[in-house]
Amino acid sequence: MALILNAWYVAAWPHEVSAEKLLSRTICALPMVFFRDAQGKASALEDRCCHREMPLSQGWMESCTVRCGYHGMRFDGAGQCVEIPGQEFIPPGAKVIAYPVVERHGWIWVWPGDASRADPKLIPEMFARNDHPDWTSVGGTTYVRGHYELISDNLLDLTHETFIHRESLGNQAVIDHPIEVEHTDSTVTVQRWMFNHEPAPFWKRNLFLKLGRDVPADRWQIINFAPPANIVLDVGVAPTGMGAREGNRGAGCEGCNLNAITPETEDSTWYFWAFARRFQREDEALSKKLIEQVAGIFEQDRVAIEGVHETMKRNRGRPVIHLIADKGQNLARRMVEGVAENEAANR
Angle at 165 between CA 163 and CA 167, to 5 degrees: 105
Q: How far apart are CA 88 and CA 81, in angstroms?
A: 12
DSSP state letter for 239: E
**Cα Rg of the chain (Å, integer):** 22
Q: How far apart are CA 294 and CA 89, in angstroms?
A: 54
User: What is the predicted pLDDT for the residue at 284?
Assistant: 95
Q: How far apart are CA 104 and CA 130, in angstroms?
A: 9
Domain positions in the chain: 9-120, 125-345
Angle at 109 between CA 103 and CA 111, to 5 degrees: 130
Q: What fold characterizes domain 9-120?
A: Rieske Iron-sulfur Protein (2.102.10)
User: What is the predicted pLDDT for the residue at 22?
Assistant: 98
CA distances from 240 to 168, 174, 219 (A): 20, 16, 9
CA distances from 347 to 26, 160, 306, 340 (A): 22, 38, 32, 11
pLDDT along the chain (347 residues), means of 10: 92 97 98 96 98 98 96 98 96 97 98 97 97 97 97 94 87 88 96 93 88 91 97 96 92 95 98 96 94 94 96 92 94 96 89
CATH of domain 125-345: 3.90.380.10
Q: Where are the beta strands (DSSP E) in the chain?
A: 9-12, 23-27, 30-36, 42-46, 60-62, 65-67, 74-75, 81-83, 98-99, 101-104, 107-110, 136-144, 180-183, 188-197, 217-226, 230-239, 253-265, 268-277
Instruction: Please check whether residue 142 is in contact with residue 271, taking contact to mean a CB–CB distance below 8 angstroms.
Output: yes
**Longest pairwise C-alpha distance within the chain:** 76
Q: How far apart are CA 207 and CA 258, in angstroms?
A: 21
